[in-house]
Structure 1
């Protein structure tokens, strides 16, 4: 188990903050990988839905993301929603759905202010997975996230980082963001004695 991080992720417009601490897993194999603990903002508590009722006094609720694509790498995947497991760990796409990425509902909706996070496997026991080639992405590449209403948001890659899972930059990835940020996360590097990848690959992007 990696060190516990409890950054303050409150945002100025949030009325309340979650008191629970959750564990984020970025799994890339059929068994759980070491975890990084994050304290999410209260915006994580509600998953946006395109059919939510609207009243004049209530803000518009953005549609949930439905698909992610990286045209330069030939990546195109529907997005499943990733919430929390009963033990507080964040869900990852099941191994049998390795070619499907997932949006972590504890972050921002892609295209909204804040850090949106999309997690995908590199490989599973069934073979190569959706983010197998993510390590080839380059600065300036386009990442397109299409929501359930069919609207597309384009993000430009600003950089990548491969970090040890025991030194995951929690605040940098999940902390407050003033811009409309996107992070793609998968596994990277060699393997430990239990067969778990030792690194995470993080792709940073901002709304174009």
Structure 2
């Protein structure tokens, strides 16, 4: 059964569990492959594709577009000095959301199970705070202010601008999965990284979420 089939999504909906972004600290696993599997963080990134999208979404296409949606290739946040290429992230075999490998800590990832930035729905970008290599792309994300500009360039050369509407720090044990990944009629953007104090293994116990909407 296809991961994109409506039947599969409905079957998974009751199994929704909270997301906790893994692999954000210098204490993560020693190999990029382990980081991609969600190992070495405090817990894996696990969501249901059905609940995360809420509506039918075909990778590479957007509702009402009649064709392939433009894909993000670059993200810039001038107020905190972020200027990064964008890599594609999907789901691991165990249902956890991929994160960028540790050796690409300065690269932002776009979760392709949700819409592309600028399409109706919630586009989700994931980045590390720190890795074993040092500070990562979203290290200063906690400094972002309401009203800050987030610019995303797509593969068609267009530059889309999003305005920050708010931020939220949440426990990884109580991640608001539906709020972040769920269906919305807005052209919304979510940025996610690790935050907060550290557990006994040296991993952050919280996630920082930035909410933004299209200008």
- Structure 1 length as normaliser, TM-score? 0.82
Cα 1:172/1:43, change in 2 over 3 Å: closer
SS of residue in 1 equivalent to 2:97 = coil
**8 Å contact kept, 1:113–1:177:** yes
**8 Å contact kept, 1:25–1:32:** no
Q: In the TM superposition, what is the alpha-carbon distance from 1:195 to its structure 2 partner? A: 1.6
**8 Å contact kept, 2:57–2:114:** no
Q: Which has the higher helix share?
A: 2
Q: In the TM superposition, what is the alpha-carbon distance from 1:171 to its structure 2 partner? A: 1.5
Please say if 1:34 is aligned against 2:46: no
Q: Which region of structure 1 is more displaced relative to structure 2, 166-175 or 156-165? A: 166-175
Residue number in structure 2 paired with 1:182: 189
Taking the TM superposition and a 5 Å limit, the aligned residue runs for 1:118-133 are: 118-133=125-140
Q: In the TM superposition, what is the alpha-carbon distance from 1:89 to its structure 2 partner? A: 1.0
Q: In the TM superposition, what is the alpha-carbon distance from 1:40 to its structure 2 partner? A: 2.9
Aligned length: 188
Please say if 1:70 is aligned against 2:80: no
Q: In the TM superposition, what is the alpha-carbon distance from 1:63 to its structure 2 partner? A: 1.3
- Structure 2 length as normaliser, TM-score? 0.80
**8 Å contact kept, 2:117–2:187:** yes
1:199 corresponds, among 177, 193, 206, to 206
List gaps (5 residues or longer) in structure 1.
Answer: 1-13, 50-56
Residue number in structure 2 paired with 1:54: none
**8 Å contact kept, 2:146–2:164:** yes
2:6 corresponds, among 6, 16, 19, to 16
1:107 corresponds, among 92, 114, 117, to 114
RMSD: 2.4
Cα 1:58/1:66, change in 2 over 3 Å: closer
Separation in structure 2 between the aligned mates of residue 85 and residue 146 of structure 1, nearest angstrom: 27
Residue number in structure 1 paired with 2:59: 47
**8 Å contact kept, 2:57–2:115:** no
**8 Å contact kept, 2:20–2:207:** no
SS of residue in 2 equivalent to 1:72 = helix
Please say if 1:151 is aligned against 2:158: yes
List gaps (5 residues or longer) in structure 2.
Answer: 29-39
